[in-house]
């Protein structure tokens, strides 16, 4: 018998996938097994630009502001801000606002330092 999606039930199609987000500093582990949240995380990580942003933020203990990230990646602040919004929606970064020389600065910090995908 040939197996295809049309002759399998939903429980047979889905493999149990979970994502664990770990923060060693706060000794926190979040397990995500909801399909919609897994999709948000995977989509956020699918972009090279967003992965580069995470890499730069990872190397800064106090986080980085949009201007500094834009300068390092040689991109516009608007583009970086849009990319950070997607990382924030995926719950991968925390953003705070503080005053700067020319208005308000958006500071982004990694929320977790490890992402583990389990199949």
DSSP letter, residue 116? E
* Domains, the chain: 5-118 (1.10.10.10)
pLDDT of residue 101: 76
3-class SS of residue 54? helix
Q: Is the dihedral of CA 99, 101, 50, 58 positive or negative?
A: negative
Q: Do 95 and 84 meet the contact criterion of CB atoms below 8 Å apart?
A: yes
Has residue 3 got a pLDDT over 70? no
Backbone phi, then psi, for 30, in 5-degree steps?
A: -110, 130
Q: Do 113 and 22 meet the contact criterion of CB atoms below 8 Å apart?
A: yes
Has residue 102 got a pLDDT over 80? no
**Mean pLDDT taken over the chain:** 86
In the predicted model, what is the mean pLDDT of residues 7-34?
A: 76
Has residue 4 got a pLDDT over 50? no
What is the tens place of the pLDDT at every residue in 50-89? 999 999 999 898 899 999 999 999 999 999 999 999 999 9
3-class SS of residue 56? helix
pLDDT of residue 1: 35
């Amino acid at each position: 018998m040939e197996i295809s999606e049309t002759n399998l039930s939903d429980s047979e199609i889905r493999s149990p996938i979970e994502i664990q987000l770990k923060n060693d500093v706060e000794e926190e582990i979040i397990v995500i097994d909801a399909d919609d949240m897994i999709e948000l995380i995977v989509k956020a990580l699918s972009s090279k630009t967003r992965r580069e942003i995470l890499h730069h933020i990872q190397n800064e203990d106090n986080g980085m502001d949009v201007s500094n990230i834009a300068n390092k990646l040689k991109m516009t602040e608007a583009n970086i801000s849009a990319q950070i919004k997607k990382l924030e929606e995926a719950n991968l970064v925390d953003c705070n606002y503080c005053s700067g020389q020319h208005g308000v600065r958006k500071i982004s910090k990694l929320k977790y330092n490890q992402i583990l995908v389990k199949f």
